[in-house]
Structure 1
Amino acid sequence: MTDRIIKNGSMALTAFFVFTICLCSTLYVKAATPYYYQIKVYHFKTKAQENRLDAYLQNAYLPAVHKAGVKSVGVFKPIKQDSLDKKLYLFVPYKTWDALETTDQKIQKDQTYTAAGKDYLDAQYNDPTYNRIETIVLRAFTNAPEPLTPNLTARKADRIYEMRSYESATEKYNASKVKMFNAGDEIGIFKSYDFNAVFYAQVIAGSHMPNLMYMTTFNSMDDNKAKWKLFFADEKFKALGKMAEYQKNVSKAESFFLYPTDYSDY
Structure 2
Amino acid sequence: MSYIKPILQVLSAILIVLFFSNSVSDSALKREYYEIKIYTINGPEQEAKVDQFLQKAYLPALHRAGISKVGVYKPIKTDTTFGKRIFVFIPLKKLDQLSSLLTALDKDAAFQSAGAEYLNAPWDKPVYVRMESIVIQAFKDMPFHQLPKLGGNITDRVYELRSYEGGTEKLYQKKVHMFNEGQEISIFSRLGFNAVFYGEVLAGRRMPNLMYMTSFDNIDKRNELWKAFGADPFWKKISALPEYQHTVSKSNVYLLNPAAYSEI
Q: What TM-score comes out, normalization by structure 1 length?
A: 0.86
Give yes or no for the alignment of 1:197 onto 2:208: no
SS of residue paired to 1:195: coil
Give yes or no for the alignment of 1:237 onto 2:235: yes
55, 58, 62: which one aligns with 1:61: 58
- 1:179–1:84 distance in 2 versus 1, CA, 3 Å: closer
SS of residue paired to 2:164: strand
User: Is the 8 Å Cα contact of residues 197 and 217 (structure 1) preserved in structure 2?
Assistant: yes
Could you tell me how far 1:72 is from its partner in structure 2?
Answer: 1.1
User: Which residues of 2 match residues 18-33 of structure 1 at below 5 A?
Assistant: 33=30
Give yes or no for the alignment of 1:213 onto 2:247: no
Could you tell me how far 1:154 is from its partner in structure 2?
Answer: 2.2
User: Is the 8 Å Cα contact of residues 156 and 261 (structure 1) preserved in structure 2?
Assistant: no
Letter in 2 for 1:130: Y
Letter in 1 for 2:70: V
Could you tell me how far 1:71 is from its partner in structure 2?
Answer: 1.4
- 1:76–1:85 distance in 2 versus 1, CA, 3 Å: closer
89, 93, 103: which one aligns with 1:95: 93
CA distance in 1, matches of 2:27, 2:226: 27
Partner of 1:36: 33
Q: What runs of 5+ residues in structure 2 fail to find an aligned partner?
A: 1-25
Partner of 1:184: 182
User: Is the 8 Å Cα contact of residues 76 and 255 (structure 2) preserved in structure 1?
Assistant: yes
Could you tell me how far 1:74 is from its partner in structure 2?
Answer: 0.7
Partner of 2:3: none
User: Is the 8 Å Cα contact of residues 162 and 255 (structure 1) preserved in structure 2?
Assistant: yes
User: Is the 8 Å Cα contact of residues 30 and 143 (structure 1) preserved in structure 2?
Assistant: no
User: Is the 8 Å Cα contact of residues 38 and 86 (structure 2) preserved in structure 1?
Assistant: yes
User: Which residues of 2 match residues 1-266 of structure 1 at below 5 A?
Assistant: 33-80=30-77, 82=80, 86-266=84-264
CA distance in 2, matches of 1:89, 1:148: 17
- 1:233–1:82 distance in 2 versus 1, CA, 3 Å: closer
Identity %: 45
User: Is the 8 Å Cα contact of residues 162 and 251 (structure 2) preserved in structure 1?
Assistant: yes
User: Is the 8 Å Cα contact of residues 43 and 85 (structure 1) preserved in structure 2?
Assistant: no
SS of residue paired to 2:237: helix
CA distance in 2, matches of 1:104, 1:79: 31
- Point out 4+ residue stretches in structure 1 off by more than 3 angstroms: 29-32, 80-85
Could you tell me how far 1:107 is from its partner in structure 2?
Answer: 1.7
- CA RMSD after TM alignment: 1.7
CA distance in 2, matches of 1:151, 1:31: 27
Could you tell me how far 1:46 is from its partner in structure 2?
Answer: 1.8
CA distance in 2, matches of 1:232, 1:202: 23
CA distance in 2, matches of 1:154, 1:63: 27
Q: What runs of 5+ residues in structure 1 fail to find an aligned partner?
A: 1-28
Could you tell me how far 1:138 is from its partner in structure 2?
Answer: 0.8
> May I ask how many residue pairs the two structures share in their alignment?
238
Deviations along 1:62-115, one digit per CA (max 9) or x if unpaired, are 000011011111110001354798110011110101112211221221111111
Deviations along 1:196-247, one digit per CA (max 9) or x if unpaired, are 0111011111111111110000001110011111111111111101112111
